[in-house]
Amino acid sequence: MRDEEKKSVTKLKFRRLLGKKWVYPAIYLSIAALVLAGVLWYQQRGEEVDLANDPNVNDEVITEDPFGDEDAVPVMESGEEMAMPVAEEENSQIVTKFYDYDASEEDQENALVLYNNKYYQSTGVDITKNDEKFDVTAALSGTVTEVKEDPLYGNVVQLDHGQEVTTVYASLDEVQVEAGTEIKQGAVLGTAGRNIFGQASGVHVHFEVRKDGEALNPESFFGKPLSELEKQKEADESKQTEETEKAEDKDAAGEEEQNKDVSEEETGELEPGAEEEAPGEGDKETGVEEEPGMDENAESSISMTQT
């Protein structure tokens, strides 16, 4: 009898639970979640089986660089030293130097370019070969960033070597490269020619080296790696900073001295040891007291002695 009562109570609770509004939606959602999970598992399992049986799938690990190319030209090879921009250095000479403020007077004179009755400071070097045409070559590996015709400098080619370093080749007669081309050190860019700005140099190539847009002396870097350019740039900046600080200190000292003099004039103070002359003593014009009995001859003799 008790068992029957327990069963009836259980059925009654179950009926009450089914009578709740949220029961059936919860059951439906649970069933849907189970079905969806089963479908996703089945699809994923099928893809794994297909990949395992696909003969086109290679399990090898690729260690080689897919973009590697032995013939690729680097923008700047490590440790590459700057060379003269001529195919053969024999018989080549620099006829116009880079204007350096620390150079000797003779070198500074050789770094002046006469154009239109005025002298201009050279921002590079002019290289010639007995006034004959010669091949102009890349001083460093790099990328051609500009090819143009300048009314004063003639045909101009500019190369970028990375690290904010560029080289410029001007006064070219013929150009054999195009912008965007990557080239190696020693590649022919064109032939040397003449231009209007450097007429006195004859057939030549005007060569410039720039770091961060600032022109540097090319002769200082022939046969040296680009790291020397960075060192030189830092040294120049340090020197310029020291000179600026010295000039500022000098100006500050001069201003302080001037303010001191103005202050003394305003207060009427005299320098130590200076004595103010009493009014009425001595001669009004010269301040020299005339002794009694002084004749004209004695006065003339004193004047000649002072002279």
The confidence score (pLDDT) of residue 243 equals: 63
Helix (H) or strand (E) holding 147, with range, is strand 142-150
- How far apart are the C-alpha atoms of 1 and 6, rounded to whole Å? 9
Render 64-98 in DSSP notation, one character per residue: S-TT--TTPPPSS-TTPBB--SBS--TT-EEEE--
The confidence score (pLDDT) of residue 241 equals: 66
pTM of the prediction? Answer: 0.56
Mean residue pLDDT of the chain comes to 76
- How far apart are the C-alpha atoms of 74 and 142, rounded to whole Å? 7
pLDDT tens, position by position, 246-297: 666 676 666 667 766 666 565 555 445 544 444 444 444 444 444 444 444 4
The domain segmentation of the chain, as residue ranges, is: 2-52, 93-231
Tell me whether residue 163 is exposed, middle or buried, using C-beta atoms within 10 angstroms of its C-beta: 0 to 12, 13 to 18, 19 or more.
middle
Domain 93-231: homologous superfamily in CATH: Glucose Permease (Domain IIA) (2.70.70.10)
Could you tell me which of 178, 188, 174 has the C-alpha nearest to residue 88? 188
The confidence score (pLDDT) of residue 287 equals: 44
Please list the ranges in the chain whose pLDDT falls under 50: 57, 59-76, 270-271, 274-307
Q: Helices 23-53 and 2-18 meet at what angle, rounded to 10?
A: 80
Q: What is the chain's length? A: 307
Angle at 251 between CA 108 and CA 239, to 5 degrees: 45
The alpha helices in 119-226, defined as continuous H runs, are: none
The confidence score (pLDDT) of residue 174 equals: 93
Contact 62, 105 (CB under 8 A): no
The confidence score (pLDDT) of residue 284 equals: 43
- 3-state class (DSSP) for residue 255: helix
The confidence score (pLDDT) of residue 49 equals: 55
- How far apart are the C-alpha atoms of 217 and 100, rounded to whole Å? 8
